[in-house]
Amino acid sequence: MNARIVIGANYGDEGKGTVVAHLTKTGTNVLNVLTNGGSQRGHSILTKDGSMTFQHFGSGTCYGADNYYSAWYILNPMQFVKEYCELIVKPIHIYRDPRCRWSTPYDAMANLIDEEARGRHASCGMGIWMTIKRYGSMPIMLFDDFVKNEDRQYAYLESVKSYYENFMEIPTKWKDTWDSDILKVHFIRDCQIMHSLTKPADVVTMNSYDNIVFENGQGLLLCDTGKDTEDTTPSNTGISYALSMARQMGIEDITAHYVTRPYLTRHGDGHISNEISRYALSSDILDDRTNHYNEHQGMFRYGELDITELHNRITDDAKGVNYVLDVTHCDEMDRVKEFKKEFAKVNTYDSPLI
């Protein structure tokens, strides 16, 4: 058994989905572990038939990988059902750690209301920060307990709703949806569907797989600081979580894949180093096929990548584990020789096409 840990080296959007899909396509009997974050991730792969974006499923799903949600992944039943119905290739087995936190529609709506009040573009609107804060502030129910105790479902959702109403004014335009009983009915139904399609399991029981591919969300430059700002995500985006799980499983063959483009990218209002327009960066950079303006995250932005700084943050994170650098979009900017001066092992990909 071996473990491959795919980690974004910058602000996200580096091409992690491409690398995960490649590792799955060239491997056998693969378990794709969604290591951290939640369905705010959007990992896309491009094929000759078009693009696919994965949020609540691993990017190896299209090549037959089973899925596992780690204890650090935040479940979103509504997004799960929506995406599951859209999958062309569905995982045969989907596992989840019983300790997974899970988001309600009120977490997502509170997230959007808060972003509107702040007047910023720094969130995907999936309620990740809100869910984490709520878990630290009110009694919670495990996902299994919520689904199995039908007599407590409405009361629990009302308690989540009241939690936000205690410190947040719900704008008029949100009130009908916020107060809708139909919303509760649909959400409970989605929870039941998700529960029926997934199995609770601890990662140490996943010893029947030959290849474990850990798929991190976001990137090293967005790592959690404990504060809700436009510059961070509420998750450790580096190697720690996956490395802990791999060692629990007794895996000795571990390789970290740090993913970057030859330049920097990021969504939203947060800081980006050496920001520059796409056209000034290189005339060969294509119009990005998977990252477009959206009302929650704002424009897709670009910056010049300092390879020495990249090397420093990767070696700081790798903690002595064998690692390689995976560079995507190499056809848009030829910096391979520069990367090879700093890194012993470099894999290269053109604009993501699996």
pLDDT digits (tens, 9 = 90+) for 156-174: 999 999 999 999 999 999 9
For the cut 80, the answer to whether the pLDDT of residue 291 exceeds it is no
Q: Is 149 helix (H, G, I), strand (E, B) or coil?
A: coil
Across 329-353, average pLDDT: 91
DSSP, collapsed to helix, strand or coil, labels residue 190 as: helix
β-bridge mates for residue 52, sequence order: 45
User: What is the tens place of the pLDDT at every residue in 257-271?
Assistant: 999 999 999 987 788
Tell me if 19 sits within 8 A of 259, measured CB to CB. yes
**pLDDT (0 to 100) of residue 261:** 96
Higher pLDDT: 300 or 103? It is 103
- Reported pTM: 0.93
Taking residues 281-289, report their average pLDDT: 81
- Mean pLDDT value of segment 20-46: 92
Is 10 or 228 the better-scoring residue by pLDDT? 10
pLDDT at 128 over 80: yes
- Higher-pLDDT residue of 350, 324: 324
pLDDT score of 293: 47
Residues 45/52, Cβ–Cβ less than 8 Å: yes
Please report, for residues 61, 166, 290, the alpha-carbon distance to residue 44 in angstroms, rounded to integers and kept in the order given: 12, 38, 7
Determine the 3-state secondary structure of 276 from DSSP.
Answer: coil
Return the CATH architecture of domain 2-97+201-264+305-348: 3-Layer(aba) Sandwich (3.40)
pLDDT bracket for residue 123 (50, 70, 90): low
Instruction: Answer with the residue of higher pLDDT: 51 or 225.
Output: 51
Sorted by sequence, the CB contacts under 8 Å of residue 82 that are 6+ apart come out as: none
pLDDT at 106 > cutoff 80: yes
Domain boundaries, the chain: 2-97+201-264+305-348, 105-197
- Rounded to the nearest integer, the mean pLDDT of the chain is 91
